[in-house]
Amino acid sequence: MNNFNNILLASHGTTGSEAAVSYALSLCQGGTSLHHLVVVPEFWKGMMGDDWLNNGVSRDRFARYLESELGRETDQHIQNVRERAESAGVQYQHEIHVGEPYECLIAISERQPFDIAVIGSTRPKGTAGLNSKMTLHKLSGHLSTPLLIVPYPTQ
C-alpha cells in the first residue's frame, strides 16, 4: 500500500513517457491528485529549417505550421492522460512549460510539495525517434521530491 496523495508526472507523449503515465496512474488511489507537467523542450524554438526556408513568408508559414502541430499533439496527449486519470477517479491538473525539462521539474517541485515525481527513462540507443531526455545529473541534489524513473517498455 502506498501513501501517495499528490503525484507529479512529467510526460510528453513519447513511448517512454507513456510508460511513466501508466505507472503513475497505477500508484493512484481514490482521492489522489495527479499533477501533469508537459515540457516543450527549448530546441523546438530553433526548428525553423533556415537552411531551406530562404524567405520570411515561408519561414513564418512553417513556424505557424510547426507550432500548430506541436500544440495539437500536446493537447491530444493531455486529453488522453486526463481521460485515463478521470476514469480512475483521480483528480487531474496539468500545466505546459517551454524550457529545459530538468529546470521545469525542479521549479514545479519547489513551488508545490509532491509525494513523488514520476518520469520515463530515455529511449534505448538505436530506437527511432526524437530524444528529449531529462538531464538526470542536473536534477541530482536539486529536486526536492523523490524521483521515480520508469523503465523504457520492452516490446
Q: Residue 120 pLDDT more than 80? A: yes
pLDDT in the model for residue 7: 96
DSSP of 43-78: GGGG---TTT--SHHHHHHHHHHHHHHHHHHHHHHH
Quick one: which of 74, 88, 100 has its CA closest to 11? 74
Q: Which three cell numbers stand for residue 62?
A: 512553417
Where do the domains of the chain lie? 8-127
pLDDT in the model for residue 47: 55
Quick one: which of 35, 7, 29, 47 has its CA closest to 132? 47
pLDDT in the model for residue 39: 87
Least confident of 25-29, 59-63, 95-99, 115-119: 59-63
Q: Residue 49 pLDDT more than 60? A: no
In CATH terms, the fold of domain 8-127 is: Rossmann fold (3.40.50)
Q: What are phi and psi of 129, to 5 degrees?
A: 125, 170
More confident residue, 95 or 124: 95
Average pLDDT over all residues of the chain? 82
